[in-house]
A and B are shown apart, each in its own frame.
Chain A
Amino acid sequence: MSHGLDDVEAADPTVLATGPVGSAERVVDAINHIVVIVSSIALVIASFVLTYSVVVRYFLKISTDWQDETSVFLIIGAVFMSAAAVQARRGHVGIEAITVLLSRRANRVRLFLVDLISLMFCTYFAWKSWVLLHEAWVDNHHSGSTWAPPLWIPYSLMTVGMVLLSVQILLQLAVALERRKSVP
């Protein structure tokens, strides 16, 4: 299993490409940077919300209804929204046993195909998330709890997160193609 930062998987991800691909990379990098900060804050807020829940229920004897669901939305949002940033550092782990058996060139082709499969899946998932979000918005879906918050909130975070992830993988494919052109 690899933790995704070895040289066959990615040329140094901090070195950005040039031209239009490079510009797109810089934009996505900047978005990822902001998303990671907001997601980190969301995780900390979720911790405080759950702590607050314990305090008000046991010390102030106030019943709790919104805390669990708010934490779920915050954490789900943080997870989906930061998926692209994790992918940018090749942080989604995979089995890399085969890399040692293949040549460098074969590994480049393999990685390209791996990214292509990942892109197809993530794009499909992003599209289906959008359909789900649209339905939830149009039909005004709410969660089944007593608090009943609207479901477009978590669905929109899931959709945006998956779109960002798909764009990130698409960029990685574009960079791989650019590099192929520049390698004699």
Chain B
Amino acid sequence: MTVLSIGLLYGAVTLLVMFAGVPIAFALGAVATLFMIMFMPGGSVDTITQNVYEEMASITLLSIPLFILKGAAIGRSPAGQDLYGALHAWMQRIPGGLGIANVFACALFAAMAGSSPATCSAIGSAGIPEMRKRGYSGGFASGIIAAGGTLGILLPPSITMILYAVAAEQSLGRLFLAAIGPALLLVALFAGYAMWRFRREFRDAQLLYAKAGTHSELLRPDTLTVRDKFALLPRVLPFVVLLTGVMIALYGGYATPSETAGLGAVLALALIALIYGVWTPRDLKPILLATLRESTMLMFIIGMSLLYSYVMSYLHISQSAAAWIVSLQLSRWVLLVAILFLVVILGFFLPPVSIILMTAPIILPPLKAAGFDLVWFGVIMTIVMEMGLIHPPVGLNIFVIKNIAPDIPLADVMWGTLPFVVLMTLSIVILCFFPGIATWLADAVMGR
């Protein structure tokens, strides 16, 4: 059989098994094993477990469960509500300040917890009811939280970035730094939109009041005093210290990324014990169980995705597919758009971890040949996958919002997230014109 026919068969069998509903990890492992038996030399399949073990036994990859532990510890404590409350108090005078406070709270929380659904759930469970109480429409409120939550896979310590670093053989420290500028750009775009949309809803409420005398909560001024504002700070500061402390440990050369993960988890557990009194085995059980469940599921997908890529590479499928893409001699921007389109389509069905590990061997060589900086591309790819978290049909964050605010109709949530999908697309265009937004900080800290 030719490489082309083996490649097509490999893709077709994978789609069939996955769409039948076999768990992603087992589907990838089973297809890879089957093709090893059928098309690779006799002894190859004997090393299957050694392959998986050696791929997984990387301390960088195994830092993922510890980052999840840190996120679960913070995510399941009242830290999200405190953070949100403090930001709200300090931003109340800005038009749309409540919405902006939610965007900022999502960004800060995402940077501490490193998970999109956890951010949505922690900030949204306090933020959405408050925004709605203050007259924000359900769609607008849920859009802010769903989009703000996606920053969890972009801001360090993003699990998506860790996997991209492994798959693309790029420096993790550089990738983490490269994500900060674009994340701030997204925060600025989201906050700008929140302010604009608030003004529009405010104007409509004023018109309605003038016409029919209906008083909207949007028109009620905030009444928090300076004392109230300062009273909220002590509960938030330790978490901000944790965030900066972990970053200093990593970039100050004190700790490797995996040690940072361990240190972050220990500090997060210590903080929730000291501030919220969460330390008994009964308190810690849900945190540890959630961590274990997510880590095991994710690490199995990662291990089997790596086996799947190994077989794809051994059978020359990835190299041939990459060479074919290069031979098309597409202009570099057409190539980029086509690849991002592929990522969007895959995002309908697969979690970011599988997309990265399965496609990296095929899409990265052509991108490199076209002269794209792979660290920059890692950021762009992550933003595209962020979009996958808030657009149908998968849109994980949409369903998280549906869980915490079940009375907002699904259609409203989806319409509410749409402007944010547009803003993310706009950020990608901006990053194409000004790649320095991503690369500047990484170059400045780590050299070119």
Query: Of all chain B residues, which has the CB nearest A67?
Result: B259
Q: Does A92 contact B (CB under 8 A)?
A: yes
B contact residues around A1 at 8 Å (CB): 349-351, 394, 396
Residues of A within 8 A of B89 (CB): none
Of A4, A78, A117, the residue contacting B295 (CB under 8 A) is: A78
| Contact (A71, B288) CB under 8 Å given A48-B266, A95-B18 | no
How far, in angstroms, from A53 to B262 measured CA to CA in the complex? 10
Which residue of the partner chain, among B26, B285, B301, contacts A117 with CB atoms under 8 Å? B26
Instruction: Kindly state whether residue A175 has any CB partner on chain B within 8 Å.
Output: no
Asked whether any CB of chain A lies closer than 8 Å to the CB of B48, the reply is yes
Given A43-B291, A78-B65, A118-B26, A98–B20 Cβ distance below 8 Å?
yes
A interface residues, how many (CB within 8 angstroms): 55
For the complex, give the distance between the alpha carbons of A53 and B259 in Å.
7
Is A120's beta carbon under 8 Å from chain B? yes
- A65 at the binding interface (Cβ < 8 Å): no
CB of B224 within 8 Å of the partner chain: no
Q: A51-B263, A158-B49 are in contact. Are A78 and B292 (CB under 8 A)?
A: yes
For window 133-183 of A, CB contacts with B under 8 Å fall at: 154-155, 158
* A49–B26 CB distance below 8 A: no
Is the CB–CB distance between A47 and B265 below 8 Å? yes
Stretch at the interface among B27-35, B128-136, B203-211: B27-35
| Given A50-B66, A54-B255, A71-B262, CB of A125 within 8 Å of CB of B49 | yes
Q: B262 — which chain A residues lie within 8 A by C-beta? A: 46-51, 53-54, 71
Given A1-B349, A48-B266, A95-B24, A40:B48 Cβ within 8 A: no
Contact with B along A82-121 (1 / 0, CB 8 A): 1101100101111111110000000000110110011011
| Interface stretch of the complex, out of B53-61, B193-201, B375-383, B405-413 | B53-61
B17 beta carbon closer than 8 Å to chain A = yes
Do B24 and A92 have beta carbons less than 8 Å apart?
A: yes
Chain A, Cβ-Cβ closest to B68: A43
Report 20 cross-chain contacts, Cβ distance below 8 Å, ordered by A residue. A36-B292, A47-B69, A47-B265, A51-B263, A51-B266, A54-B259, A71-B62, A72-B57, A78-B296, A82-B296, A86-B292, A91-B296, A92-B23, A92-B26, A92-B297, A95-B19, A110-B20, A118-B30, A125-B48, A128-B49
Q: A95-B18, A114-B21, A114-B23 are in contact. List 20 more A-B contacts (CB 8 A).
A: A1-B350, A36-B292, A43-B65, A50-B263, A51-B262, A68-B59, A71-B62, A72-B58, A79-B296, A83-B300, A86-B292, A93-B351, A94-B18, A95-B350, A98-B20, A111-B21, A117-B22, A118-B22, A120-B30, A121-B30
Top-6 shortest CB links A-B: A50-B262, A92-B23, A40-B288, A121-B30, A47-B265, A47-B262
Give residues in B with beta carbon < 8 Å to A.
Answer: 17-27, 29-30, 33, 45-46, 48-50, 52-53, 56-59, 62, 65-66, 69, 249, 254-255, 258-259, 261-263, 265-266, 269, 285, 288-289, 291-293, 295-297, 299-301, 349-351, 393-394, 396
